[in-house]
Structures are given as C-alpha cells and as structure tokens.
Amino acid sequence: MTTPLFSIIMPVWNRSGIVRRAIASVGKQQFTDYELIIVDDGSTDRLEDSVAPFLRDERICLVRIPHRGVGAARNEGLRLARGTWIAYLDSDNTWDPAYLSRMHAALAGSPEIRTAYCRFNQFNRLPVLHIPYLWKIGGEPFGYEKLLEENFIDINTFVHARECSNETGPWDETLKRLVDWDFIIRMTARYPPLYVAEPLVNYYYQVHGDSISSREPIGPALEAVREKIRRMKKP
C-alpha cells in the first residue's frame, strides 16, 4: 500500500444522519492522494450503516473506540495516520472540491512551511425555520498575539506536517471545548502557518442541535486554555 500525501482525520459521535455529507465532500476533492480515517467515538446510532457504502473506497477506513471525546478521537487518528500532511474535517462540515489541491499547491510552493490554513464560510441557523444561511466569511492573516486573544483558525481549514505533533504534543483529551484553539496555539507557536486567503471550507455553527458548542459550557475550557497561555508567557 502506497503512502498517501494527506491523512484526513474525521472524528464522529452520533452523527449518522449527516456524516455522509462530510465524507462525500472528501470524495469530491480534485486532489485524490489521500486517506480518510473516520474515528467512531463510541456512537450508539448505527453510524457504521451510514459509513459502510463509503468503505468500498480503499482510501477510507472506519475505526471504533470507546466514547472519550473529540480529543481522544483525533489522537487515535494521528496514531494511525500515514500521510505526509494531516488535515481535519468534522462530521458536520464540508470542504470545497478545491480544498486539498489549493492547500497542496500553497505548501509545495513554500517547502520551509510546516502548517497552513485557509478562510471559511460560516453558516448559522435561522431561528424557527432552522435553515442554514451564510453569516460571514471567517479567517484572517496570521498573528500569534491575536491568536492568543481569540481563535480565528478553524480546525477544518488547518493542515500540518505529521511530525509536528511529535514536537507540540497531542490533542488535550481533558478539554470539553476549545480543543481546537489549544492545539493550534501550541502548533503555531513552533510552526508559524501559511495563510491561504480563499474560503475553501463550509463551517456550520450550531446548525445541528447536537453540536458540542450547544452541549458544553465554555467557561471551564476557556479558563483552562488561558491558564496554559499564562504559563507559556512566563519567562
């Protein structure tokens, strides 16, 4: 089996009704040298039935683990990843067909760069009607001090060299929220990213009622990440 250029990690927990849309957006990529690692984080909604038709593609695999949260699921994906580059796609979001090809071209043109990200279309949900609508286009040029104030890099837009996580550490499995911000802070502190100023990702904010942002309070995670930032800034 040849080694893919990209390993795509997709954590899933009880998203059998929508995960197919995310997987299909991977299948539509113009750049095809990838593997997709779907990590079932202890789902109880017959997720495997939704995923099964896609497993005919030898580039796609499904791995099941006990339910431990998104950090543990992504760490399992990192453990299994074989690609040169790691990308992430959550089960309720999608990529533009040009996403991988654009990111690959940008990284190939800057061989010293080990991380990159792009802009994204953020969709919210209309009250009562519950219809997704394009609220804004997110993402901005990189600035580390700005990142320490708030996260403007969506994980679905972020790519890093596989070996980078060996230096910066795995996903924090103790955090219930803000796991993406914590991971990106640590990664970009050592490896400043390349900014691709195209919206190549569709991010659905609380469009689905079971999103983690609608289930978990943000306060404890915010304090935990800020404490990490304070420790990093100490001389």
pLDDT digits (tens, 9 = 90+) for 159-177: 999 999 999 999 999 998 9
pLDDT, tens digit, 9 for 90 and up, residues 176-202: 899 999 999 999 999 999 999 999 999
- 64-73 residues labelled b (16+ CB within 10 A) or e (exposed): eeeeebbbbb
SS3 content of the chain, % helix, strand, coil (to 5): 35, 25, 40
All structural domains of the chain, each given as residue ranges with its CATH number in brackets, are 6-233 (3.90.550.10)
Residue matched to tokens 């079932």: 40
* Assigned token pair, 58: 């030898």
pTM: 0.93
